[in-house]
Amino acid sequence: MAGDLSAPEGFSAPDVTEILVRWRDGDADAPAKLMPLVYEELRRRARDYLRRERSDHTLQATALVHEAYLRMVDDRKVSWESRAHFYGIAARVMRRILVDHARAHQTQKRGGLAQVFTLDEARSLPCENTSDLVALDGVLQNFAKTYPRKSEVVELKFFGGLETREISEVLQVSEKTVLRDWNFAKLWLCRALTADAA
């Protein structure tokens, strides 16, 4: 018999489809109901992934969100708008998970994130050196006040791992616009972070 204390890997049976359908039909509570479900799923997947595929450098957040979608949503029953909704939520959830974790590690002075980031130090690029998710989250909140859509592009791409095409679907703008938003946001955020650090 298994001897470790940890429970076997579980899975949750999704009723996310239902929530998405209700959302489309105007249920304003739907996002609130979706958040915890997606949160748990993504968190569990993230752990699971890393345990098994630590060495796999092709690991992508996009796979995570896609798989969460495939696992939790019955694609036959929802429209593409619902998929966009789901991706939007998933990106927000990923942001929350990652930033919460980064914050937890900062306050505990474990320096986990800082250590990870120094892996990229070889490139010696100013923005990357000053990057940490908590700070980024902070400047992104400011950015959103002036540029709400552009900040969503960042959330979807950086935190949600979505492709340009998917982002254009979620936000209902052209791919060209997504790319322009992204370029601008990077400049703006990079400058803000550098200014913060200075």
Partner 1 sequence: METTDRSEKIAELVETAFELEPAERINFLDQNCEEDVELRAEIESLLKFQAPSRNFIEEPAYHIAAETLVAEDTSELQAGDEVGGYKIRSLIGEGGMGEVYLADDLQLRRAVALKLIKGVYGRAAFRKQFEQEERILAGLNHPNIARLYGASVTPNATPFFIMEYVAGERLDHYCEHKRLTIPQRLEIFRKICAAVSYAHQNLVIHRDLKPGNVRVTAEGEPKLLDFGIAKLVDEASGATDQTITSTRAMTPDYASPEQVRGERMTTASDVYSLGIILYEMLSGEKPLRLTSRRPEEISRAITETIPVRPSVVASENRESKIENKKSLRGDLDNIVLMAMRKEPERRYASVGQFSEDIRRHLAGLPVLARKDTWNYRSGKFIRRHKVSVFAAVVLALTLFAGILATTWEARRAEKQRELAQRRFDDARRIAHSLMFEVHDAIENLPGSTAARELLVKRALEYLDSLAGESSGDPTLQRELIAAYIKVGNVQGNPTNANLGDSAGALQSYQKALVITEKLLAQSNDTDLRNSLGMILRKVADVDANTERVADAVRTAQRSLQIFRVLAEAAPGQADAQMNLAIGHLKLGDILGNPNFANLGDQAGAMRSYGDALIILAALEKQNPGDARTRRYLGIIHERIGTMRELQNDVTGALAEYQSSAAIRVPLAAEFPNDTQLVRDAAVAYEKLANVMTAAGDLEAALNDRQRSLEIFTRLAESDPKNVLAQQSLGISYLHLADLLGAPDSPNLKRPADAVANYARARDILLKNSEASDKKVGDLLQGIQAELGKLRD
Residues 59-88 that bind partner 1 (CB under 8 A): 59-62, 64, 70-71, 75-76
Helices (H), 78-147: 80-107, 112-118, 126-130, 133-146
Of 116-175, which residues contact partner 1 (CB under 8 A)?
Answer: 116-117, 120, 123, 125-128, 131, 133, 136, 146-147, 150, 154, 157-159, 161
Candidate list 68, 69, 105, 167; residue touching partner 1; CB under 8 A: 105
Q: Which is nearer to partner 1, 25 or 119 (CB)?
A: 119
User: Which CB, 13 or 25, lies closer to partner 1?
Assistant: 13
Shortest separation between residue 74's beta carbon and partner 1, angstroms: 8
CA atoms of 154 and 184, how far apart (whole Å): 10
Neighbours of 122 (CB within 10 A): 8
In this structure, what token pair is assigned to residue 103? Answer: 């914050």
Among 22, 24, 44, 66, binds partner 1 (CB under 8 A): 44
Q: CA 87 to CA 33: how far, in whole Å?
A: 15
Nearest alpha carbon to residue 102 among 115, 89, 92: 115
* Least Cβ distance, residue 80 to partner 1 (angstroms): 16
Report, in angstroms and rounded to the nearest whole number, the Rg of the chain calculated over CA atoms: 18
